[in-house]
Amino acid sequence: MARRKIIAGNWKMNMTPTEAVALIEELKPLVVNEEADVVFCVPAIDIIPAMEAARGTNIHIGAENMYFEEKGAYTGEISPKMLVDAGVKYVIIGHSERREYFAETDETVNKKVLKAFEHGLTPIICCGESLTQREQGITIDWIRQQIKIAFLNVTADQAKAAVIAYEPIWAIGTGKTATSDQAEEVCAAIRVCIGEIYDEATAEAIRIQYGGSVNGANAAELFAKPNIDGGLVGGASLKPDFGKIVNYK
């Protein structure tokens, strides 16, 4: 069975609650697509107003991060229960910006992934290589390591429902998109890796996105690749261009 595409926006640290509502009002007629899951991952403070603004539409509201503990003395953090109570289904885990600026590691990513599943949340698990790693020819080795640790103790049934976002760091916010062949090569390697950890059925079921300077002009070519099941979109998700990405065909 063909995998359903999943196209998600990552708003990053943009949009006040008021702006979030206005943006959803603007984008909601543009992002209608019955054949794909459409997710807006928004800052935590925007989740509740965004949920309200998206009510009755095909837009799912997701989170950009969560903590791996249940509750307690973790000032500033958001728990999985808070997300679930707010109606969230998807949560981005281990974005390269969180790894770089907030000291997240493959091990904390794994803890968050396990905790997300425990609460019925679908993690969008990010991986990606730096320019140096690509130039040194260690991209696939690096990604396989990230994936193997992220999925430690994750069951096959959970993995089948997971989403992986392959985001080469050098392509994020740079306007320098990976070519569709480069993106496909790594997404295919990720699927092979999932097949090794689990089995063929799990590898076939898991959805793998590409992220990094996706826009309305390059989405069609990227999403046509057999192992690319959609995108994780930063800058262009804040603009009407996101409608073109969602309706890439």
Q: 167 an active-site residue?
A: yes
Q: 184 an active-site residue?
A: no
Smallest gap, in angstroms, from Cβ of residue 237 to ligand 13P? Answer: 7
**Separation CA 204–CA 14 (nearest Å):** 34
Site string for ligand 13P, 56-95 (x = CB under 6 A): ---------------------------------------x
Answer yes or no whether residue 42 interacts with ligand 13P by CB under 6 A.
Answer: no
Q: For residues 121 and 112, is the Cβ–Cβ distance under 8 A?
A: no
Which residue from 101, 181, 193 is spatially nearest to 146, judged by alpha carbons?
A: 193
Answer yes or no whether residue 27 interacts with ligand 13P by CB under 6 A.
Answer: no
Q: Which of 80, 94, 168, 235: binder of ligand 13P (CB under 6 A)?
A: 235
The tokens 């430690």 sit on which residue?
152
Answer yes or no whether residue 218 interacts with ligand 13P by CB under 6 A.
Answer: no
Beta strands in 70-149 (DSSP E): 90-93, 122-127
**Separation CA 111–CA 28 (nearest Å):** 34
**Separation CA 18–CA 232 (nearest Å):** 23
Q: Which of 5, 10, 134, 162: binder of ligand 13P (CB under 6 A)?
A: 10
Answer yes or no whether residue 214 interacts with ligand 13P by CB under 6 A.
Answer: yes
> For residue 231, how far is the Cα from the chain centroid?
8
Answer yes or no whether residue 173 interacts with ligand 13P by CB under 6 A.
Answer: yes
**Quick one: 121 or 178, whose CB is closer to ligand 13P?**
178
Which residues participate in catalysis according to the annotation?
Answer: 95, 167
